[in-house]
Structure 1
């Protein structure tokens, strides 16, 4: 079984503080099964690829991203072509209201323009804060995302729930 990008870039002491159900979600998916983790065949690196569909009154929109383990840490490549990337710092509180939840905070944002990656200066770079927690009472995973800009404030905020499971790969579509 291949280790997940989270396992490859985050100290084991930090991951050990995760809620047990989140350890499954942020861990590797066993061979022959599907979940949220997979190997990115295009670049032969471990990646968690996601297609999230949001349903609004005006229609549906799908967000695509891939989280990879890079030499400098955990990186989220946004969009189908990954032109915007965010280097992420992973944190897990041992106690308090967020005990066992994973918090990902962007520390650098890079944009690919004309085949070259350019880091945005801190004064202009948006900041992403994502919190994933497990709600035992409702038996769901809760996600909260906030995108903010240094001089403007909150640009986008999302909160939602979902259920995650690992299933045998039947070959009936993508994970």
Structure 2
């Protein structure tokens, strides 16, 4: 489970997600609270970086669970590694739609901490 707080010009944006091992291999990242988006990723280590590439995307609309057809499903690619020069993690993420091209992307450095959940 993770909570990410991004300080943006319009204020702080909070993203909650949890990652679980997928029965079909890889990992599934469920976004939101309650989860409304789930992406299953193939996982690889390339050089000194962790790479995640989405293979399926699903939406939860109330009790309905819908898998987005691959022909219209964007591919999410994430690469994360340690940046020794800054002592922080480096991330590079892109979201590419098969028909529309690149929809979104970001890259940069970040720090994180592990906290215990309140009792």
TM range (shorter): 0.7 to 0.9
The structure whose residues are more often helix, as a share, is 1
Counterpart selection for 1:81 from 26, 29, 34? 34
TM-score by length of 2: 0.86
Q: 1:155 and 2:108 equivalent?
A: no
Q: Tell whether the 8 Å contact from 2:39 to 2:55 is kept in structure 1 after alignment.
A: yes
Give the structure 1 partner of residue 16 of structure 2.
64
TM-score by length of 1: 0.61
In structure 2, the residue corresponding to 1:123 is in which secondary structure? helix
Long gaps (5+) in structure 2 = none
- For CA contacts below 8 A with separation 6 or more, give which structure has more relative contact order: 1
Q: 1:129 and 2:82 equivalent?
A: no
Give the structure 1 partner of residue 55 of structure 2.
107
In structure 1, the residue corresponding to 2:44 is in which secondary structure? strand
Give CA deviations for 1:77-128 in whole Å, capped at 9, x if unaligned. 11111121111000112xxxxx110010000111123423221111111211
Q: Tell whether the 8 Å contact from 2:5 to 2:14 is kept in structure 1 after alignment.
A: yes
- The aligned runs of 1:7-18 (5 Å cut-off) are none
Counterpart selection for 2:2 from 50, 63, 77? 50
User: Cα offset for 1:166?
Assistant: 5.2
Q: CA RMSD in A?
A: 2.0
Q: Distance in 2 between matches of 1:163 and 1:114?
A: 34
User: Cα offset for 1:162?
Assistant: 2.0
Q: Distance in 2 between matches of 1:112 and 1:166?
A: 28
